[in-house]
Amino acid sequence: MAKTQPLAVSQQPAPDEQDKRSPGSFADLALFAPGGPFESYPGAAMVVGRNGLVLGANADAAALAGLLRSDPPQELLAAIEAALYGKSAQVNPLLVRSRSQFGGLDDVEAAGGISAAGDSATGRRQASGGDAPVEQALDVAVLPWVEGAAALLLGRDVTLERSLRAALVESRQRYKDLVEISSDFSWETDADGDFTFVSPRGALGYAASEIAGKSGRSLLADPQGLSPFSVTSAISEQECWVRDADGENVCLLVTALPLTTAEGAWGGARGLCRDVTDLRSQEVARAGAHHRERLLGHILRMVRDQIEPDRMLATAASSLLPALPASGAVIHSKSEDGGMIAAAVAGEAVPEAMLAAQVEAVLKGAVEVETGDETGVALSLATQYEGEINGVATVWRCEGTRAWQAEDLFVLREVVTQLGLANRQLVRQEELERLSATDPLTGLLNRRSFTEALEARFDWARKRGSSAALFYIDLDNFKQVNDRFGHQAGDDVLLRVTEILRAHIRNRDVAARLGGDEFALFFDDMSADAVAGKAKELLKASEQLKAQSGSPEHPLGFSLGIAAWDPGSQESLNSLAERADTAMYAAKRRGKGGFEVAAAIGVTE
């Protein structure tokens, strides 16, 4: 350590005055002279006489000397007083604060800053920087000197030690704060897997005192699973399901490290847990909602792709089986008499008595009905249109399958919305067919209804990419029947023609009387190769009409014009109709009683 120079003391009294107050104190000055015993003392050293007079000091005691000259703390004065009466004392710590930024001298306080100068000194300290940063901290020992004539003050600089201690405390608090905000609780277990520490605020609904000593494995939702509370290697955010104090499942993300003893043996674990139950629940809910939306979208697309309402209902019933899943499904439509008619059935049959009870409950005003017995469980929802019940959708699960869940109800409710519209369309279609779609005499579609039906069937064939064929039929020599036998005979012929046509079409094919003696047929799923065969069938059947002819020279019969539609041609409906009409007139020109197939689109004869 560098040698220090003795401190000049402005309060040093004259030699004769020293002799009178503190005999022998002149010798104290030599203690701090070059070569003296306190010259190389590693800290502050100072001798103070009675009345606070500094008799000698080394350079490191500048702060102490300045303190005694200005504003000494009460505790320091009391310690000096005790030493003058032969008792040693300590002042720990003595804090030296900088006041230069406030325009004053350094401020020194001891044990909380009690001033020896009374209220005025305290006021000066507060006014001039009591919160100023600490520049130096000293542990001061005050010892009796020269038989109580003076006091020896020896100071040890603890500024660095105090700063390190404060930094350590701050670091610990910072770590604690970070642990608290980054996790829901921290914990530590011993070699038996029992909790020896849990965050003071507790965990999983338990108070800290309740969980201390509890086995970590006892908290697991699956006690046979691996316990993150007894890890032998580090883990990071490992998902673990536990049960809280109420017995509810809780999902934790666990980060933990193993603990080892001084001998290197495993001694437990320490870690943090974060409760992510709500997050996982939200993820599951989002995934479930996404799945339901995709499933529902698929069902609705299949239903909407159908043209006919009855096909919509049939598609919906069959789609619900794998979607929910369900063992069986029945969709009822409300009839004109107010009852319910089964319009679509799929899968296993719903027990008759249970189904009847479900439907009856809906007819009485129930919107959703669920019943079950030893055979299974049924769920029925009313279909509605503009607030009026117009049908029932019933799904059924047989014994041994799970009960209906909320997600099942969600899907069925959305589908039922479309079914209400389909039921309404079914009723409307029946009304239209009954009121205006048919020819009054034959019961076949009239020209307007045929045109509408043809447009729908044509669009359907185009979407499916299936072939189709349009037949135009003209009744040969029909005028002679009317002229010779009258219109009633003519009507009888038209009714016979209707019977022939209906006998040679399928339920899904379309037949119409366009007016007078002109008829039309539309066949879907009929290839170009099949049209000639169908034409020959019709011509053969038309021979039945000869007995009703006006004369042998003018026999009744069919002239057929046929146009086959190729889905790859992109031909329009108008073009198809024009080709069929042209072919029909070509057949008439060739002598009647035959058929003509129009050349394919883009092909000329």
Helix locations, 128-276, DSSP H = 159-182, 208-211
372 torsion bin: left (phi>0), alpha (psi -120 to 50), beta (else): beta
Residue given tokens 């901290």 in the structure block: 137
Using CA atoms of 480, 483, 485, 491 in order, give the dihedral in degrees to the nearest 10.
Answer: 80
Beta carbons of 191 and 266 less than 8 angstroms apart: yes
Peptide bond into 440 cis (omega under 30): no
254-282 per-residue burial string, b: 16 or more CB within 10 A, e: under 16? bbbebbeeeeeeeebbbbbbebbeeebee
Beta carbons of 227 and 205 less than 8 angstroms apart: no
Beta carbons of 309 and 429 less than 8 angstroms apart: yes
| Of residues 310, 378, 322, the one with CA closest to residue 350 | 378
Which H or E run contains 78? helix 74-84
Angle between helices 487-503 and 528-542 (to 10 degrees): 140
Beta carbons of 548 and 476 less than 8 angstroms apart: no
Strands (E), 244-320: 249-260, 266-275
| Separation of alpha carbons 110 and 93, rounded Å | 6
| Separation of alpha carbons 512 and 553, rounded Å | 28
Residue 102 has what DSSP assignment? Answer: G
Exactly one of 71, 106, 509, 517 is catalytic; name it.
517
| Whether residue 476 lies in the annotated active site | no
| Contact partners, residue 181, CB within 8 Å, separation at least 6 | none
Taking CA atoms, 305 is separated from 157, 285, 334, 417, in Å, by 91, 30, 23, 16
Which H or E run contains 230? none
First to last CA, the chain: 124
| Separation of alpha carbons 138 and 161, rounded Å | 10
| Separation of alpha carbons 287 and 550, rounded Å | 75
Active site residue ranges: 517
